[in-house]
Every structure is written in structure tokens, then in C-alpha cells.
Amino acid sequence: MRCFFVAAFLGALAAGPIARAQPAAPPARYWVALADKNGVAFDPKTYFSAAARARRLRQHLPAADATDRPVRPDYLARVRAAVDTVTLVSRWFNAVAVRATPAQAAALRALPGVQKVAAWPQQPVAAAVAARRAAAHAAHSFGSETPYIGPDDYRLARRQTAALGAAAWARAGLDGRGLRIALFDVGFRGVDSHPAFAALRARRGIVATHDFLANRPDVYRGGSHGTEVLGCLAGRLPGGGDGDAAGAPGPALGLAPAADYLLARTERALRETLSEEEAWLAAAEWADREGADIINSSLAYTEQRYFPEEMNGRRSLVARAAALAARKGMLVVCAAGNDGDTDWVRIGTPADADSVLAVGGLDPETGLHLAFSSVGPSADRRVKPDVSAFGVVLSTTPGGYERLEGTSFAAPLVAGFAACAWQHNRRLTAAQLYGQLRAAGQLYPYFDYASGYGLPRAEYFLDKPPARPAGPTFDFVPTDSLVAVVVRPAAAVQPARTLPLVAELPEEGPGPPRAPDPDFPAYLYWNLADRRGVLRRYEVRAVTQRLVLQVPRRLLQPGDALRVEFKGYTATYSE
Amino acid sequence: MLKAGRLPARWVGLAWLLLPGAARAQQVLVRADVADDTLTNLTGPNRRYFGHLYAGAGLVAGARAPGAPVRAGFSSMEGQLGGRLKRRFTQTVAVVADVRYAYLRDGFEQTAAKTFPGAGRHRAERLAWHQVQAEIGLRLNAGRRGNTVGSYLDLLAWGGWVAATSHTTDDDPAPGGPAAVSTTETGLPYLRRWTGGVGARLGFDRYALVARRRLAGALRPGTAPAGACLPPWVLGLEIGLF
């Protein structure tokens, strides 16, 4: 032990001169808010890409607003001169993120043009990707051979898009063409070589890439979570050809195989520092400039930085950035998170932002909420998640294809759905599309905090009227102590299915026969809401008899509403 | 929206069904009680209160007297198992209070100069303390964080009651005798029953480096050979069990 102290003493001696040569306190991160943008020259025509200008024009947004103008160069120069490192310059927030010592931070506060200097904490922890790996299904390695997809995985691959109306979108010729979708993720390892993206690469569908952590264009490193997410948008199952060889492209794993993509690396695989939120903001500004229509972010930041009661859409930098992106005409689609079965339980950020489409996960086997999928409401009691899609999918991995689970993959499935809907009606603004995506939910106007408004239906956007029941499917039967919900006889019939003469095929491709659309049993959803519309409790029940539910009337407080949904019909009972 | 009213005549026939037990309850597939689920927790790693168990181990360190040559390394170490309650006041300041069981063992080198615990030389020799300790500390956290313990420095003061002591020697058996000879003496009169000291803990989430120094003497005055003393430091690791 004496050796230990000797070694420590020698170490201290050796470190002494180095320590004396450095500032007294180590540099920390600070957020420097600037006062104004007076006198800054800005030409939207040169700054924004043609696609970005077209998006704003389409949505009747101004060509630029004050948040688009760059920060004042003189302010920026003074800040650069006063600190060690500038890590982000944000024109949206008119702010600069820096690394500085406390003494430098104090000096920054005295600079002209500096409105506020706030400490910008950092916590190294586990990554925030909203993905889990389904352990039972191994990767299918590919090399020179066409990867093998088992029947169950093939069926899942078809059902994950069929549930979102792949056949209807295909019949309408909608595949995301003309839309630009930006993906913010850990990394996109293998996208530049995976056969699932051969068609995407061949048509140069990846229009821009940038690594906002290393500040370079290469995003095909750092991790494969982005590869898996992109697979749920533009990946394809093996087609007629091998590898990159020319051949019939296989069936799509997502709904937007013809969209254009912007790939941004904003997340480290094994760390979660505030620099990642800065990178997210920088990527959002980049996506805006490059003309993105949709941002998909399969990331959810939770307890390492925040408390559940802070998930109000106003606390985190990414939530505020996402809200601003939505104001600029981009639809922001975010994974709700995978903390439904942890102590956190709630959605993460930026899914908590007001105008962000938060996507929860559904079980492909039952159509019900997956236990791991984070639940709402937001801290200020808004409905979250907004909609849901399959949270267990087949997607692309650097080694081939793999069954994966997580709301990370529900989000791109819905982003692809949104791309089709927007392609169908380009006159919609982002806010209108956001509202219509919620209204397209199979449960709408019913909602709960597990599934939101449910799985979006393509029929809502297409000309064909949705297959909704003509009338009520159940009745409320109040008695002295109970309110019963009894399914009407007509709605209790379970018709036999008849095979069509010719099945509708969304696209041609090899492999086993197409799986039918998901045919989940009809569940009865009910919730109890207070006078503000905030749910007190909610349930989903199996329906094996017509008398499904009996709610004690003592649970109904004045102003409460008992809302029930069954087979597309929603009714409310109140006292 | 259906308002409450009289029971519709067509449902009168079903009224018997609504009696308790008359109908089979339908299986609940998803259930949430939002009011309960969204209560703000008062307990948690970075909430007002946080309680958890922890385990620790450390090596004895410090100056050694020639008459009491305590071995370095794993022969002389302390193991701990305890519980901790943290009361947070601000994001950066909290107090912690621990109660723990600690087992301290000092092994002795068998040198010619050894006079403590005894002058005799053995194949191995050790003293052991079974202690119940209490500790309070001021916790200084670095930086804002979410509901995590984060990085911190604890300044500690602790005291303990020595519940049991033992002196064990191992000797080579005589030819033809038993396989091993081990002698244990308990209730050692020359060791103090009360102890205490100060310390510091440098931690990140569940892991921490700990240094504690005993300020109270381990030996009763007048009962041990002159010049005998035991190393006062324990340097080790702790793992929070949460």
C-alpha cells in the first residue's frame, strides 16, 4: 500500500506542471442566447434549396422569417474569441453553444449582444435510441447469396405495411415519390451496400447526408440503428436479382420506397450528451434548408436528462426544435419511446412536443398496445402518443434482415404513411396533415394514452369512404348502480370471410403468397375522462359476449364522461 | 352523447344480467389508471428522497507499525453491506445517511519484530471486527440532470459499534497430527468497542470510490504493546443496488 501512495505522489508530481498550464476549472458547456439579428443580410433564395422554397410556397409560409436569418457575425466573432470551442451556431434560436470555463462564461455575459449565458449540462449515459432487439430471431447474413427470409418473418414484413393500407396506397400509385424525408439517427452502417437499398441507391434517392457529431458527410458508420429505421421506410425484401445486380426489386418493407432521403447522424451509440440535442437542432436546420418535408426521429430522451413531469414539449431543446421545425412546414414524426415497462413509463422527448406526431407500438399478433411502448399523456395532459403502428417489424440490418422491436420502427412506418398521404394531397400544410393523421386513426375520435388514436387508415385520405359502421354498435344501459355497455346484435355477428376471385396485390414480387390485411378481433375500448377531457382510466376488453362492460356509477364524478369505442363507433355517456 | 335517464323499456329484460355475478366479466387486455400513473414521485434517484441498498469492499491502507505488521492487499480488507437514504435539498446539495454492517479483517505478516496481536509467529494470523456502523454525509452533485444519481462528492462522518472481535491463527500441525491447526480467540479485550472517523466518496450513478479514515484508536490504551497501531485507512469501491 505504501507503493500506492508513492505512485500517487509521483503521479501528482508528474501532473503538476500540466495542471498548472491549464485553466483553473475545466471547460463546460454553455448556451449563449444572443440579443438580436439587427442588420444581418439574408437572401432566402440562396440559402434555401429549391425544394425548401417550394415547400414553403406550397404551405403559404413566408419565404423566410426572423428565425431563418443567421446570427450576427460580429456577435459570433466576439463569442468565438472569448471561448475555447463553439459547438453549435443556431439561427433558429439565435444562440451559440460553446465550451468554456466558468471565467470565460462570466466574461461572455459582459459581451455586447449576449442576452443570456446558461450552463448546459452533460451526462454520459446509455444511448437513447428507441429500439429493442427481438432476441429470438437471428440475423440473416447476406453475401453473394440472396438472404433467406423465413415464412413468419416474411408474413410480418407484409403485415407491417398492410396494416397501414399498403394495398390501398399502391392502388392509388402513392409511394412517397416527390417527398423528402430526413432521418436523424445513430448511424446508417451498411446502407451504402445493403441490397435492400439497391433500388434507392440506383435512383440516387439519398440526396444528402451529414454527420453532425463529426461534421462530415459520411453517415455510414457509428451504428446501424439508422439502417434499421430506413429499412422501415425504403428497404426492400430480396427481389429477383442478387445483391446489387439488376433484378426485380423485392416487396417494400415501408410505405415510402420512392421518397428522397436526407440522412443525418445526430446520436452516438454509447453516449448521450447534450451535444446530441445540439446535433439534432443542427440537423433540423439542415433538413429545413435541404427541403425536407418529413423528419423521422426514432430517438427518445428520458430520465438521464429529464423528469417525467418535464415532458411538456417546452423543456428540452429537441422538443423546442421539433416544434419550430413543425412551424416551418415539416411534419416531425417521433418514436414514443420504449419505457412503458420501466420506471419511467412516459413518452420521451421530443415526442412530447405539441405538434410532433408521436408514434406508439402495437403488437402485430393482437393489434394491442405493446407493454414496452411508452405511454402518455404529456406532462401537460395532452394526448400522446398520437397514433400507433407495429412495434415489432422485419427490417434491414447490416447483416441482412432481422426481426426487431421498438417504437423506433413504428415511427418510420407512420412516416411512410404520412408521405403517401402528403403525396396524395400536396396542398395540405404540415399542421393540417398532422391533424388528419390523428383523425385517420382507426379509433378516432376515441383515444387513450397507450395507442393514441390507433393505427392510421389509408382510406381516410383516399377517395373511398372508410369502412365504418352505418350506425351504433352498442348501447349504454344505466341502472341504479351501474352503467352497462351492451353490443347490439347486428354488431355481434362475425361474418365468414370469402376469398375474392383475384386477390389485390400491391406490387409484384417473388416469394410466398401475400398475407392478408391484419384481421384482429374487435375489441371494446373504453375510457373515463374528466371535464377537461383528461383521461382518468382506460381499458381494452375482449368481446366474447354482448354484455361487455359494467361501470359502477360511483366512478363517474360530476362532469366525467364515459367514452366507448367498438367497431369504429364511439359514443359518450355522462351524468 | 347519451345522457343518463330512465332505463329503456327494451333493456328491462336484460336487467337481471346486470346483477352482480350474473354475467362473466370480459377479459381486460389493456388497463391503465392514469390518475395513479401520473402522480409525481417523491422518491427516486434524483427526487426528494431516495433509499437504496449498497455493497462495498475496500483495502486497508496507511502507516504500519513494525510491531503490528499488517499485510497489504487482500489479506487486509473490509466488506460492507448497508442501506442509504438520501434527502435532496437542491440539484447540487443533499445529505445521505447510511446504516451498514462492516466486516474488517487485518492480516499480519509474521516478522521477528511483531509484538501485536502476539509475539508468537504463525503460518497466518488475522484480527477481525464485526461492526455496525452509521454514517452521515454531505453530498455535492455536479450539474443538472434528470432522475439519476449523477456525479457527486460525499463528505462523510461515521461511527460504529464493534459487535464482535476475533483473533485467528493458523499453524502448521505436528507430524501425524490433524490436517490443520486453527485457533480463534473471541471477545478481544484489547480492541475498542466504539470507533469512528471521516471519509469521502466520489461517485457516478451506482459506482463510487470511497476513502475512509478511522480517527478513533482501534486499541484500548494500556492493553496493547507500546508502539502497536493499526492502519487507519480503508480505500475501496461501492456499488449501489438500485
Q: Is residue B1 scored above 50 in pLDDT?
A: no
Give dist(CA A537, CA A128) in Å, integer: 29
Residue A498, pLDDT score: 73
Residue A138, pLDDT score: 44
Among A217, A229, A215, A219, smallest CA distance to A187 is for A219
Chain A residue with CA closest to B233: the answer is A1
Beta bridge partners of A403: A394
Boundary of a domain, candidates A435, A460, A485: A460
pLDDT tens, B23-66? 456 788 988 888 776 667 778 898 899 999 999 999 999 988 88
Residue A17, pLDDT score: 37
Q: Which of residues 319-358 of A touch B (CB under 8 A)?
A: 343-345
Which helix (H) or strand (E) is A12 found in, with range? Answer: helix A2-21
Burial of A461 (0-12, 13-18, 19+ CB in 10 A): buried
Residue A288, pLDDT score: 96
Q: Which range of residues forms the domain containing residue B118?
A: 51-172+183-241
Q: How many CA atoms lie within 13 Å of A191's alpha carbon, on the beta-carbon side?
A: 35
**Cβ of A304 and B146 within 8 Å?**
yes
CB-CB contact of B207 with B241 (8 Å): no
Phi-psi region of A337 (alpha: psi -120 to 50; beta: other; left: phi over 0): left
Average pLDDT score over residue span A501-509: 55
Average pLDDT score over residue span A437-447: 95
Pair A453, A523 in one domain: no
Among A411, A405, A374, smallest CA distance to A389 is for A411
SS (H, E, C) chain B: CEECCCCCHHHHHHHHHHCCCCCCCCCEEEEEEHHHHCCCCCECCCCCEEEEEEEEEEEEECCCECCECECCHHHCEEEEEEEEEEEECCCCEEEEEEEEEEEEEEEECCCCCCCCCCCCCCCEEEEEEEEEEEEEEEEEEECCCCCCCCEEEEEEEEEEEEEEEEEEEEECCCCCCCCCEEEEEECCCCECCEEEEEEEEEEECCEEEEEEEECCCCECCCCCCCCCCCCCEEEEEEEEEC
Q: Is residue B97 scored above 90 in pLDDT?
A: yes
Which three three-digit cell numbers place residue B236?
475501496
- Least-confidence region, from A342-351, A534-543, B223-232: B223-232
Q: Is residue A126 scored above 60 in pLDDT?
A: no
**Cβ of A302 and B27 within 8 Å?**
no
Q: Which of residues 34-63 of A touch B (CB under 8 A)?
A: none
The rounded mean pLDDT for chain A is: 86
pLDDT range class, residue B2, cuts 50, 70, 90: very low
Pair A440, A516 in one domain: no
Q: What is the ipTM of this complex?
A: 0.76
- Residue A384 touches chain B, beta carbons under 8 Å: no
**Cβ of A574 and B4 within 8 Å?**
yes
Give the number of domains in chain B: 1
Tell whether A392 is covered by a domain. yes
Residue B145, pLDDT score: 82
Looking at per-residue pLDDT, the higher value among A470 and A364 belongs to A364
Please report residues of B whose CB lies closer than 8 A to that of A123.
Answer: 143, 145-146, 148, 150
Which among A476, A547, A574 has CB closest to B23? A547
**Cβ of A571 and B31 within 8 Å?**
no
Among A347, A315, A167, A153, smallest CA distance to A255 is for A167
Average pLDDT score over residue span B6-33: 61
Pair A113, A202 in one domain: no
Radius of gyration of chain B (CA): 30
pLDDT tens, A45-80? 999 999 999 999 999 999 999 999 999 999 999 999
Long-range pairs for A215-221 at CB < 8 Å and ≥24 separation? A219/A187, A219/A188, A219/A191, A219/A263, A219/A264, A219/A265, A220/A187, A220/A188, A220/A189, A220/A190, A220/A191, A220/A192, A221/A187, A221/A189
Tell whether B224 is covered by a domain. yes
Give dist(CA A371, CA A348) in Å, integer: 15
Please report residues of B whose CB lies closer than 8 A to that of A343.
Answer: 44
Pair A410, A324 in one domain: yes
User: For testing the chain A interface, which of B50, B109, B147 should be mutated: the one with the most A CBs within 10 Å?
Assistant: B147
Tell whether B148 is covered by a domain. yes
Burial of A13 (0-12, 13-18, 19+ CB in 10 A): exposed
Tell whether A535 is covered by a domain. yes
Residue A274, pLDDT score: 73
**Cβ of B1 and A561 within 8 Å?**
yes
Residue A240, pLDDT score: 59
Tell whether B30 is covered by a domain. no
- Residue B49 touches chain A, beta carbons under 8 Å: no
Burial of A300 (0-12, 13-18, 19+ CB in 10 A): buried
Please report residues of A whose CB lies closer than 8 A to that of B242.
Answer: none
Beta bridge partners of B127: B106, B167
Among A414, A344, A353, A404, smallest CA distance to A374 is for A344
Please report residues of A whose CB lies closer than 8 A to that of B3.
Answer: 573-575
**Cβ of B35 and A536 within 8 Å?**
yes
- Residue B5 touches chain A, beta carbons under 8 Å: yes
pLDDT range class, residue A446, cuts 50, 70, 90: very high
Average pLDDT score over residue span A259-268: 94
Cα angle, residue A564 at apex, residues A561 and A570 outer, rounded to 5°? 105
Residue A468, pLDDT score: 60
pLDDT range class, residue A492, cuts 50, 70, 90: confident
Give dist(CA A230, CA A297) in Å, integer: 11
- Nearest Cα of chain B lies from the Cα of A197 at a distance, in angstroms, of 38
Residue B69, pLDDT score: 93
**Of A323-337, A506-520, B114-128, where does the model show the most confidence?**
A323-337
Pair A443, A479 in one domain: no
Q: Is residue A342 scored above 90 in pLDDT?
A: no
Q: Is residue A544 scored above 60 in pLDDT?
A: yes
Pair A403, A506 in one domain: no
Burial of A163 (0-12, 13-18, 19+ CB in 10 A): buried
Tell whether B167 is covered by a domain. yes
Pair A347, A310 in one domain: yes
- Residue B150 touches chain A, beta carbons under 8 Å: yes
Average pLDDT score over residue span A464-474: 71
pLDDT tens, A308-329? 889 999 999 999 999 999 999 9
CB-CB contact of A571 with A558 (8 Å): no
User: For testing the chain A interface, which of B26, B40, B92 should be mutated: the one with the most A CBs within 10 Å?
Assistant: B26
Pair A30, A72 in one domain: yes
CB-CB contact of B136 with B111 (8 Å): no
pLDDT tens, B183-210? 999 999 999 999 999 999 999 989 999 9
Among B230, B118, B223, B134, smallest CA distance to B168 is for B118
| Percent of chain A residues topping a pLDDT of 90 | 67
CATH number at residue A345: 3.40.50.200
- Residue B14 touches chain A, beta carbons under 8 Å: yes
Residue A5, pLDDT score: 35
Beta bridge partners of B171: B181
Give dist(CA A514, CA A179) in Å, integer: 27
pLDDT range class, residue A23, cuts 50, 70, 90: very low
CATH number at residue B146: 2.40.160.20
| Percent of chain B residues topping a pLDDT of 70 | 87
Tell whether A146 is covered by a domain. no
Pair A244, A280 in one domain: yes
Q: Which of residues 221-280 of A touch B (CB under 8 A)?
A: none
Average pLDDT score over residue span A188-195: 94
Give the number of domains in chain A: 3
Tell whether B112 is covered by a domain. yes
Tell whether B10 is covered by a domain. no
- Residue A7 touches chain B, beta carbons under 8 Å: no
Tell whether A524 is covered by a domain. yes
For residue A45, the one-letter residue type is K
pLDDT range class, residue A273, cuts 50, 70, 90: low
- Nearest Cα of chain B lies from the Cα of A328 at a distance, in angstroms, of 30
Residue B6, pLDDT score: 43
pLDDT range class, residue A494, cuts 50, 70, 90: confident
**Three-state DSSP state, A27:** coil
pLDDT range class, residue B19, cuts 50, 70, 90: low
Which among A2, A482, A540 has CB closest to B18? A482
User: For testing the chain B interface, which of A29, A477, A549 should be mutated: the one with the most B CBs within 10 Å?
Assistant: A477
CB-CB contact of B231 with B220 (8 Å): no
User: For testing the chain A interface, which of B10, B141, B144 should be mutated: the one with the most A CBs within 10 Å?
Assistant: B144
Please report residues of A whose CB lies closer than 8 A to that of B11.
Answer: 475, 477, 486
Tell whether B108 is covered by a domain. yes
- Residue A522 touches chain B, beta carbons under 8 Å: no
Tell whether B22 is covered by a domain. no
CB-CB contact of A390 with A407 (8 Å): no
Pair A284, A186 in one domain: yes
pLDDT range class, residue A520, cuts 50, 70, 90: confident
pLDDT range class, residue A418, cuts 50, 70, 90: very high
| Contacts A–B by Cβ distance under 8 A | 141
Q: Which range of residues forms the domain containing residue A359?
A: 168-460
For residue A35, the one-letter residue type is A
Q: Is residue A404 scored above 50 in pLDDT?
A: yes
**Distance set, CA B219 to CA A60, B166, B196 (Å):** 86, 13, 13
Give dist(CA A209, CA B180) in Å, integer: 73
